[in-house]
Amino acid sequence: MSADLRRLARPLMTWDAAIIAVTLAFLVVASMTVEHFGTARNAGYIILDLAPILLLALTMTLIVTTGEIDLSVASTVGLTSAAMGVMWNGGMALETIMPVAVLLGAVLGAVNGLFVTGFGLPSLAVTIGTLALYRGLAYVLLGDTAVADWPRLFTGWTLGTIGDGPVPNVLIPMLVLALACGLVLHATPVGRSIYAAGANPIAASRAGIGVGRLKFWLYVASGAMAGLVGVLWTLRYSSARADNAAGLELTVIAVVLLGGVSIFGGKGALPGVLAAVVLLVSVQNALRLAHVSTEALTVVTGTLLIAAVLAPNALGALRTALRRRRTTATGRTA
């Protein structure tokens, strides 16, 4: 009987499932207890607020799963935003500027990729460097000025909803890209290579996986994603500024870890990360609606993130302990 129970409980024991359950539970409880939380309008605000975090977290998940990290994403957002401002002031068409911004992001990502895979430098050091470098370049481009005269047609789209219903437009690219990243990670040979590279890079190389090339392209993808977020950010706030998205990399990495991706690579899944993004942004939103002070909000967010790092470890230890007991139990009966 207890074996059946255990088999039933096993999917619940994964961090992924746990975080999804916690997120759903939170949404239900908050809708019932916090005034204004469970409205379509608030859902729209939450989606708008989580869009940049979610998009950056998609590619970050892939990179962290290979055992690397990209701390430069928020600075890449800032630099593409600043570059957009310069191009717009220079009289370029926005239809040209947007793809160029995404390409610029890809190039900035390629620089990271080159240093990490080409020169074999630790990604933590490389991307701390480009975090400062890209942000610095953004200030070189725009200083402390802002470019704000973006056309309403485009800024309106980033804030608007599908057919004036409750669903924000930005949900479309978010879903498409989340689906694409999910498929790549969980249903393609590339995804299996990502796990293999993270779990044991030497073994992966021996198995014929081009670990370096794989990581290089993931950095390019991460940069292009940051470029896209730069475009969305600039248009959503109708403001190209060098300090756009400053500090956002920490939130992105936090949700990736909260989502159950191991910082050491090789472990993790996208659904958990998506749930973690929703959880973090909804908690902040609900606390604001409940008139909780900013100080308390920061403390709660911090606690949530520490729990995120501790809980999977605790869960892992628990699972190992259970397995050990089970093996000894079966050993005895055998």
Partner 1 sequence: MKGSKPMNRRRLTLLTTPILAAALLAGCGGTTQGDDDAGGGPAGDASADPNAEYETGLSFAMLPKSVNNPYFDASSTGAEAAATALEGAFEYTGPSDASASSQVSYIDTLSQQATDVILLSANDPNALCSSLEQARAGGSVVVTFDSDVDSSCRDLFVSQVDSDEVGLALLEMAAEQIDATGEIAILSATANATNQNAWIEVMEAELESNPSYADMELVDVVYGDDEDEKSFSETQGLLQAHPDLKAIISPTTVGIAAAARYLSGSEFKGQVALTGLGTPNQMREFVNDGTVTEFALWDPTALGELAAYTGAAAASGIITGAEGEVFTAGDLGEYTVGADGVVTLGPPTRFNADNIDDFDF
Helix axis angle for 15-33 and 294-333, nearest 10°, is 140
Binding of partner 1 by 233 (CB under 8 A): yes
Binding of partner 1 by 177 (CB under 8 A): no
From the list 293, 313, 320, 330, which residue makes contact with partner 1 (rule: CB under 8 A)?
293
Binding of partner 1 by 217 (CB under 8 A): yes
From the list 38, 136, 210, 212, which residue makes contact with partner 1 (rule: CB under 8 A)?
210
| Closest to partner 1 by CB, 15 or 134 | 134
Q: What is the nearest approach in angstroms of partner 1 to the Cβ of residue 125?
A: 26
Instruction: Please state, in angstroms and rounded to a whole number, the distance separating the CA atoms of residues 167 and 158.
Output: 12
From the list 33, 298, 313, 330, which residue makes contact with partner 1 (rule: CB under 8 A)?
298
CA–CA distances in Å: residue 221 to residues 70, 98, 100, 196: 11, 16, 15, 19
Residues in contact with partner 1, counted by CB under 8 A, come to a total of 60
* 52 Cβ contact partners less than 8 Å away, ≥ 6 residues apart: 77, 229, 232, 233, 245, 248
Instruction: Please state, in angstroms and rounded to a whole number, the distance separating the CA atoms of residues 149 and 276.
Output: 35
CA angle 246, 228, 286 (to 5 degrees): 55
> Residues 20 to 39: which contact partner 1 by CB under 8 A?
35-36, 39
The region of 116-124, 175-183, 282-290, 319-327 touching partner 1 under the rule CB under 8 A is 282-290
From the list 59, 117, 222, 285, which residue makes contact with partner 1 (rule: CB under 8 A)?
285
From the list 66, 222, 238, 251, which residue makes contact with partner 1 (rule: CB under 8 A)?
238
Binding of partner 1 by 250 (CB under 8 A): no
The region of 42-50, 111-119, 174-182, 259-267 touching partner 1 under the rule CB under 8 A is 42-50
Binding of partner 1 by 149 (CB under 8 A): yes
Binding mask 70-109 for partner 1 (x = CB under 8 A): ------------------xx-xxxxxx-xxx-xx------
The region of 133-141, 241-249, 266-274, 316-324 touching partner 1 under the rule CB under 8 A is 241-249
User: Which single residue is written with the structure tokens 């910082």?
Assistant: 263
Binding mask 104-143 for partner 1 (x = CB under 8 A): ----------------------------------------
Q: What is the nearest approach in angstroms of partner 1 to the Cβ of residue 278?
A: 15
| Closest to partner 1 by CB, 66 or 193 | 193
Binding of partner 1 by 2 (CB under 8 A): no
Residues that bind partner 1 (CB under 8 A): 35-36, 39, 41-42, 45, 49, 88-89, 91-96, 98-100, 102-103, 146, 148-155, 159, 189-190, 193, 207-210, 213-214, 217, 224, 233, 237-239, 241, 243-247, 284-285, 288-289, 291, 293-295, 298
